[in-house]
Amino acid sequence: MTDLTSLSALELVALLDTKQVSAREALDAHLERVAERNGEINAVVTLDAERARTEAAAIDDARSAGESLGPLAGLPITLKDSLMTQGMRTTSGAPELSDFVPEADAAPTRRLRDAGAVIFGKTNLPIYAGDVQSFNEVFGCTNNPWDVSRSPGGSSGGSSAALAARFTSLEVGSDIAGSIRNPAAMAGVVGHKPSYGIVSAKGQIPGPPGTLTQADLAVVGPMARTVADCSFALDLLAGADDWHDEAWSLSLPPTRSRNVSELRVAVWADDPYCPGDPQITSAIHGIADQLEAAGARVDRDARPSGFDFAKADRTFQMLLAGALSGGNSLVALEEMAERLKVGEDIDGGLGIAGATQRHREWLTNNERRLQMRARWREFFQDWDVVLAPVSPTVAVPHDHSFPETKRRIDVAGAQREYWDQTKWMGLFGLVYLPVTCVPIALHSNGLPIGMQVVGPFLGDRTALAVGSIIEEMAGGTRTPPGW
């Protein structure tokens, strides 16, 4: 019999729907896989096998009785530990939440549960989803199945590692500065960062449990081993939130084209502001060459009019810091502001200076963002997608030193700032664009290389459709050696 853990989510759903496999069999296969291999990478940090088996049995009984079931009925999945899951420990990697068991689901959790998914575990992340590695004091460090000495990325690193290791076929990550895209690329799987606002993130931690605000820049989106799975999951996750669902509905535009010969593809493979590993640049150009050979119109110099990467990055850092500033007390923010005023160099996390900006400064940065959004909207009148790096490097070695600002990464032999890993992702997250991240090649060191396929705002279906074309050209998601 086929190894059920090797199947995509849609393949497994098809077997469940036709009763070739029971929900209990599918669940047991994944639980056995976790039991056998999770110790090597520490991706799954909480299990609720008893409840999952009860739910799977109920689905099997309902299916046998001919009852109408949801589109994911019986599919066993894990979820990132920042998404509240009713009755299952949800910590966001924070010691103060190490025993927190929510009484309600986060909005994405509820949508998947309503679709029939059987949630059997939670996956690791950095504390409060605040790093591009995945480790915390509660559960320790998650390793990359491709090389256990390296990180699977973050903050959805447990999600990406679990997918690569075949512990689950579907996951949900969150992304404010690349936390879906970075781990997808680092572990060689697929992730989709939706257009801002089309998937409710209500019930994600941070903020604290019970927070109703959806933070600026922050999105929740699907991760899987195939673009088709991500596309299917997005249809289930997207929609009006519970503030608006009585009056609003969401109907995303169809993909602009599924015919390669009709595609208009801009390529932004490298930039002096954030130069990347030449092998990553070469891999992106290689995909562009294949698209061009198949008839697509390809331009390697097309950019939005007057657009400046450095200015976009500065604006992103300020808005990101504003979005994250709620994690600091008013006293701490006032102390930071005073120390910065006298020119003191403050060691700390990403965007610490921007955390102290006044609201009028935020409004100025938001206007800059809106001007950039207008330029991108004009740009996408002529182009369907942009191909770009996820990060200047492949998966980085573990480095848990503090402060993060003192960490360094190696990019083709050059020492670079740690947070350079977020620059290419911030470029598109700043302006709310949808991005499908797909694996496209292997580096000479054997690690996967991922690429961003960026679509116009609300053009999620176009980004996914082109991602699917590229997935086929590149050979799809590979299984790490030994897994």
- Residue positions annotated with a catalytic role: 80, 155, 179
What does 212-271 look like in DSSP terms, one character per residue? ----TT-EEEEEESSHHHHHHHHHHH-S--TTTTTT----PPPPS-S-GGG-EEEE----
CA 184 to CA 154: how far, in whole Å? 9
Question: Alpha-carbon torsion 150, 156, 158, 163, what sign?
Answer: negative
Give residues with Cβ within 8 angstroms of 344, minimum separation 6. none
Cα separations (Å) of 219 from 25, 145, 177, 178, 461?
A: 33, 26, 10, 10, 16
Question: Which among 262, 314, 277, 333 has a CA at the least distance from the CA of 423?
Answer: 314
Both tokens of residue 475?
A: 């050979």
CA 108 to CA 176: how far, in whole Å? 16
Q: Which residue has the tokens 């015919």?
A: 259
Q: How many helices (H) and strands (E) does the chain have?
A: 13, 15
Question: Which among 475, 479, 471 has a CA at the least distance from the CA of 191?
Answer: 471
